[in-house]
Structures are given as structure tokens and as C-alpha cells.
Chains A and B, each alone.
Chain A
Amino acid sequence: MSKESTYSRRAFLKASGAFVMLASIPYSLKAMYVDVDKLTVVPKQALSITVSINKKSYSVPADTRTTLLDLLREELHLTGAKKGCDHGQCGACTVHVDGERVLSCLTLSAMIQGKEVTTIEGLADGEKLHPMQQAFIECDGFQCGYCTPGQIMSAVACVKEGHTGSVAEIKEFMSGNLCRCGAYNGIVQSIQKVANA
């Protein structure tokens, strides 16, 4: 497609997009503080992202807005890491980047280029569960399981960092992972079990 035709097509889409939005939202309903310039469409930007996940290398085209969590779940179909809040407030999306626990929902994919990501899918050794996964099963470290991938990734890091000196210390250093089912006692026991193994 020639440059000119791309431009005119985009200009047309932009104009018609803005028109449709304006026409479909009654002014009375619109939030008072939305500026008109926020209705114009900025063209989206794509990047090719090269990253190593669970020791496997991937090269994926992605919108610059894609977070690591969305890259994992939507593009690579690694749905272990969960989206709880999408705003850094729950820990369900915890993964390791270069061996450290981070929140994938607040990490832009573009920023993990060349780094090593480990997700819950990369923890087991074939069919053999990671000791922390085994401990969560044995200690009833979960109920519904939604927070569990984040809890386990965080727990593995907590042990590695050496923050397992007391129940209070474990609780403090696991406070970034919320559990709506309240499986906290089992989670603390799982961590103690692995730390003392």
C-alpha cells in the first residue's frame, strides 16, 4: 500500500471514529472533565518484543501498551499469572524477572526485552512439582486458587530472600499478595515448610 493511501485511510478512520464517538455519546452523559482532545485517536504503535520466558525465547509483535501480564496471557497463552486488580494492589500477577519477584501488570513488555522471565508454568521440573507447589498442596495453601500462582512465585522469592525468620516476618514479606479466600495460615505454613526443609 502506498504511503498516500495509508495516510488517507487513516485520516478517514480517525475522522469517522471521532464522529461515531461524538454521535453515540449524549453530551449529558459524558463525564464533565473529558476533554474533546481525548476523543481523537492517536495511531497505535507496535514493537517486536524479544524475551526469554521459562528459558524459552520468544519474539512477538505487540502494541507498546502491552503489559508483561497481557503479553503472557493474551499473546503467549501462558495463563498461570492472574489478573486480579491490574493496578499493583493484589499480587496475583507476580512473576520473576531476572530472578526477582515483580508485578507483571505494572511492567511494560517493552521493558523486559533481553531479560529472563519465570512464571508459575516454569517452576516445576517436568512432572515434578517445585517444593513450594508441593507444600501449598500439603498445607492447604489455597482454596479457590486464583491468587495461588502469584502467592507461590512470591513465596519462592520470600524464601530465597531469607525473610522467613518468624511468622511475623513471613507475613510482612508476603503482604503484597492478597487472598480473598483467606488461606493465609496455610500459605505461611507452606513457606515455613520449604524454608525449614
Chain B
Amino acid sequence: MRPFSFTKIDNAANALAAKKEKSQFIAGGTNLVDLMKKNIAQPEQVLDVTTALSSEIEDFTKGIRIGAMARNSALTTNAIVLEKYPLVSKAVLAGASPQIRNMASTAGNLLQRTRCPYFYDVTTACNKRKPNSGCSALEGENRMSAVIGYSEQCVAVHPSDLCVALAALDAKVNIENSKNKKSVISFGDFHRLPGNEPNRDNNLPENALITSVEIPSNGFQKHSAYLKIRDRDSYAFALVSVAAALELQGTRIVAARLASGGVAHKPWRWYDAEAFLKGKEATAANFSEAANIAVQDLKPLAHNGFKKEMLQGAIATALQQCLTV
């Protein structure tokens, strides 16, 4: 790890004023400290924002507002989340471990970096870590890599579970930039596809802060599921994951949401499958057809062809689980 100065900041304005090119905010530290130990992140100044930003989870008429510093574990015990946005807590519980969830913040979860093994191995080429050095995964060990939306430059996937639920629920990210101007980024526009700039994971402007995440109220309380398939039962990143949510009138689907982790550089929404389900009966046959529609455009790499069938099964199963849980 490289030496750095450490400053505890007491409010958002001071955090933004203190932020320089070579400084980095720290929240739970579960991703940043790891990357600093590997010399992948090398801040000269670390700014502790844990008490500068809200950790409140507030219910307001149009939705819920989750403070940037709300812990991942808080999202699994908060009464409003459990009652009105259970998909969020299901997704968080499928990720990391109790210790890490106690440390990790909401903002940090959105900004965690990929787990691609080549990103972590500084002796290999990786366009995300070092622009223009090449992508070792494209022709290398790409079992865990993307199956859609990737480019020749980068086939990494976004590792978050929480973000898959937030994508499915059309969340919004509230930010404050270096000039103290507040703005909102819709969740679908927050994370990016790699294109020619895989070093950029998201569209958060340079030196800006995430202050909170909002989820608009919805009709998915009763029927949602998060299904994560991984190499071991728990405490592992997704091979593929599915967030599914249905709003039903009797047995008819009024609205459907489907998103996946482990498939792309950003949490991926299956819009065509959602459109197919709208207005249909909630039957196994329709769920299975929705899954077929979702996987039809996948372009697996040399070692991750299995993800297609796995995802197809996971989508149909997650939709079915919406009816029972």
C-alpha cells in the first residue's frame, strides 16, 4: 500500500471542497482498502465520509430514500425496506458476508469495482486498470465474464447484487458535484457499458459524491425474488443472478421487472422479456417464454457458454418464485 494522508470530514460540502484529483473518499472501506493493498487504487489522500453523509432510510410519499452511508446490513433489517421493497433486502442478503454487510455502505456498493481476475492481477494487461494495455480476459480465462454488452476492450462484469435490485426497481442516484450542484442520475444511466473507455465504470462525474439513492414506490411488494447462482452456496460472487418482480391482478401480470447480475458491465435489464410478460397470465409457460426471449441475444465467450442455459433456467425459476415468496 502507498502512504496517504487521512482526513475525517464532517459534511458533504467540506468533502467536496477537500476532494482533489489524487484523493479518494472512503466509506466502509471493504473495496477501497482491498484495492489499495493490491496497489490498484493509490490515493494520496483518503477522505473519510462516514459521518459526512446520511445513513437514514426515509419513507416519503413517492418512495424511499436511502442515505449514501446506510449500511448494507441496514437494508436487510429496516422495516420499510422489508415491507415495501423486499427485493432490495433479498438481493443484499445474497451478497458478501454478515461482517462485510455491516461495514459496506450503499454508495460504496454502487461504486465497487469489478472482480475480473485480470483487473486484480497487476502483472497482466487490463484496459480497466491501465487503459490501452489490452484485455487479458477476452481470449483468456473468461468463465466469469460478460455474455452481453461487452466490447473488444473489456469483458468484465459488475459484481453487485444490490445494484441488480435497484436497476429492476428503477432507482435514482442523487449526487452532488464539485461545485456543490445537486443532480439526479437514473439507475439505468448510472453504470456504463465498457465501449472504448472501460476504465470508467459509471457516469458519476469526477470528484462528485453520491448523497442518497431513491426507489419510487411500486406494486411489487408481494411478488419478488432474487435468485443467485454461484460456485458455492454462499459468500461468492454471482455466475448469474436474477431480480424478478411482478405486479399481479388475480393471475394476470400488470407489470414485470427482470434484471441480472454476472452478465454485463452493468446491471442488465431484460426489457423485451418484461414487455412480453405485461398483460399475460402468470403461468410457467409464459415465464419460460420470457426466459427464452431474454437469452436470445447473448454472445457468450469461449468459457462461459454455460451462462446461457443457466440464465434461462434462473429467469424462469425466479419468476416462479415470485408467486411463492
B44 lies within 8 A of A175 (CB)? no
On chain B, the residues within 8 Å of A65 by CB distance are 1, 3-4, 36
B50 lies within 8 A of A111 (CB)? yes
- The bracket for how many chain B residues form the interface is 35 or more
A157 lies within 8 A of B98 (CB)? yes
Q: Mark B5-49, 1 if CB is under 8 A from A, else 0.
A: 110100000000000000000101110011011010010101010
A106 lies within 8 A of B34 (CB)? yes
Let me know if A86 is at the binding interface, CB within 8 A.
yes
A34 to B2, CA, bound (A): 14
Contact among A42, A43, A176 for B98, CB-based, below 8 A: A176
A108 to B47, CA, bound (A): 12
Let me know if B102 is at the binding interface, CB within 8 A.
yes
Assuming A91-B97, A101-B98, is B33 touching A108 (CB within 8 A)?
A: yes
A110 lies within 8 A of B6 (CB)? yes
A88 lies within 8 A of B100 (CB)? yes
Contact among A31, A34, A43, A108 for B3, CB-based, below 8 A: A43
On chain A, the residues within 8 Å of B8 by CB distance are 110, 113
Residue of A nearest to B33 (CB): A106
Smallest Cβ distance from B234 to chain A, in angstroms? 4
B6 lies within 8 A of A64 (CB)? yes
Assuming A64-B3, A101-B102, is B50 touching A38 (CB within 8 A)?
A: no
B4 lies within 8 A of A88 (CB)? no
On chain A, the residues within 8 Å of B123 by CB distance are 31-33
- Give how many A residues have a beta carbon under 8 Å from the other chain's beta carbons: 40
B235 lies within 8 A of A175 (CB)? yes
Residue of A nearest to B235 (CB): A175
B99 lies within 8 A of A42 (CB)? no
Q: Mark A100-128, 1 if CB is under 8 A from B, else 0.
A: 11110011101101000000000000000
A176 lies within 8 A of B103 (CB)? no
A38 lies within 8 A of B234 (CB)? no
B50 lies within 8 A of A171 (CB)? no
A-B contact count (CB 8 A): 102
Assuming A33-B123, A86-B37, A171-B234, is B97 touching A176 (CB within 8 A)?
A: yes
A1-56 at interface with B (beta carbon < 8 Å):
31-34, 38, 42-45, 47
B29 lies within 8 A of A176 (CB)? no
Let me know if B231 is at the binding interface, CB within 8 A.
no
On chain B, the residues within 8 Å of A171 by CB distance are 233-234
On chain B, the residues within 8 Å of A94 by CB distance are 99
On chain A, the residues within 8 Å of B46 by CB distance are 64, 108
Let me know if B251 is at the binding interface, CB within 8 A.
no
- Which of A38, A47, A87, A163: most chain B Cβ within 10 A? A87
On chain A, the residues within 8 Å of B96 by CB distance are 176
A106 lies within 8 A of B133 (CB)? no
Let me know if A154 is at the binding interface, CB within 8 A.
yes
B6 lies within 8 A of A176 (CB)? no
A88 to B102, CA, bound (A): 13
On chain B, the residues within 8 Å of A63 by CB distance are 3
A42 lies within 8 A of B2 (CB)? yes
Contact among A47, A86, A88, A177 for B6, CB-based, below 8 A: A47
Let me know if A164 is at the binding interface, CB within 8 A.
no
Smallest Cβ distance from B39 to chain A, in angstroms? 7
On chain B, the residues within 8 Å of A100 by CB distance are 73, 102
Residue of B nearest to A47 (CB): B6
B3 lies within 8 A of A44 (CB)? yes
B133 lies within 8 A of A110 (CB)? no
A173 to B103, CA, bound (A): 15
On chain B, the residues within 8 Å of A173 by CB distance are 98
Assuming A33-B130, A107-B29, A108-B29, is B99 touching A102 (CB within 8 A)?
A: yes
Let me know if A67 is at the binding interface, CB within 8 A.
yes
B residues within 8 Å of A by Cβ?
1-6, 8, 26, 28-30, 33-34, 36-37, 39, 42, 44, 46, 48, 50, 73, 96-100, 102-103, 122-125, 129-130, 133, 233-235
A residues within 8 Å of B by Cβ?
31-34, 38, 42-45, 47, 63-65, 67, 86-88, 91, 94, 100-103, 106-108, 110-111, 113, 154, 157-158, 161, 163, 171-173, 175-177
The 4 closest A-B CB pairs, nearest first, are A176-B97, A175-B234, A44-B3, A175-B235
| 13 residue pairs from A and B, CB less than 8 Å apart | A32-B125, A64-B4, A64-B5, A65-B1, A101-B102, A102-B102, A103-B99, A108-B33, A110-B8, A110-B48, A111-B48, A173-B98, A176-B235
